[in-house]
Structure 1
């Protein structure tokens, strides 16, 4: 199978590429990535020594580029997106362009070229607060109403529904996945866990929104990419036209995460710093994974305790990677590291 991976130089995308190359020796990967602030070519295996991997720098909103890179491809795994809630509160236009318009360009090109699989990577952010229609807190189901609370989440709702419409209208073989919060190697350090880790390593305060009781389900990126590969290689009848929640059932609050990191690194509790909550902050993100467990027999295998220690070790052992990020002097990231804007 020849697979186009959009956003393949980003956090989850690059981990997916590494997993695919290591696990499926006959698959070929084409990465299309714009290399914005969060994209990093060094996240990928070396191109010169990885013959089954090719890279194209380009924008998913550019129809000509998309059509060209899709030549001879059998499948699309669509990661490319603006993903940071805090950035969406400041620059919503970028999210609408990339996440909605870019997804449309990919879907239309896939339809015209008769792509065999279109795996659309979404997020549990589309549900808003995890609760029943009656307002009772519980993990979100694939059938729940989508109630986004940020421009980022709204842009992903637009992309999700557009992707599903191409299945409903044109029978484009679309599968949609909605995953909980990811963590692990190569995550851009504006997000909560790498931000906390870097600040703790450098004895800076760990900024915590509000009272720190906002809860998220956390999944290690290795578990996430493993199940995405599983979906991609399933018989079409098992997954096409379906929506799957993906999670690890590891719900933790922001304050719990901060304290865990300080404990592992043997740093003082005085580094905890409570800051003003952001607008529209979701109180609880969690997904019900019954469907994917029952239909595909999959469940996450990496505990948060083990995954968090591995992740901390990775950031501590890769200072050169961190320095290449800092050398870009991204204004938003620098502000996050100093004042803090955790997801």
Structure 2
């Protein structure tokens, strides 16, 4: 049995000898129990059968061929569109959501069975392997040992590096924000626009932002002329990301970042929070920005808001109603939590999202997404 705090190990046999290395999975997947060494001679059908049965494939062939094999596995996992249409439609939106999450989880497990070895210093000992040292250092910190990860995770690290390098254009800032690996990218601009457009409460000399993420909302508040913004965050990657973005935007003198769960000490005339919108369990680090088990952060924000508002102050809750359309959190429950916290709704501004999935009729959750509305709820002491 693995001792608490010790790194997980993956074990396999190669050239007749037992081998092992550190296992790394950001999604928290346990190391596969069955591992087979594979190379360019392995065909996609056999690879898919082995992966579906839970046998991991430790790649020793050409790196670019491994990428092609992963694409072939994904096509086999997803199946043909005409076959998917024959399945009976889920009875309720909630059932559709759970089936969709279940399918995503199974897909992720199967595709994670194609493994890539690393040598110290983030070197991949494979033909035509890319130089991923910078991307891995950004995601993981220093790498001084051998380890094994899934190719799918590695491609995510590479993609995150590109996001970080290129940034995401934020029109209301007239600048780009650079998300780090594991930090949710502010690609849904409608909620940023809501915060930029809503009139500020009178005498807003300080504002709190709960859950800084990339730092985009703290930056918007500071750019709107609030002299002091205090933003809190618990995730170390998000704190590092927010600090970098606030510095790049030249806002270090206005924005203070604190490692704290929910609220900083004191009170403010404006407290802003954009919690995860869906009450479900995240399956990876970046999903913590989307899924909030048992609505923990939402309930924590509502429950503590009144005690952190100055007289006449406002709390701005930015929240999608997607959970309502999925049957996961009724509107009456949200309104009940607001009332129980001694708060009143002062107003609400709504906007419809414009992200691609909102208009994708092939999405399993299309009915809910097409009805989704993002709102800025203005809350005050009752």
TM-score computed with the length of structure 2 as normaliser: 0.34
Which has the larger strand fraction? 2
Which has the larger helix fraction? 1
Larger radius of gyration: 2
**Using CA pairs below 8 Å that are at least 6 residues apart, which structure has the higher relative contact order?**
1
TM-score computed with the length of structure 1 as normaliser: 0.37
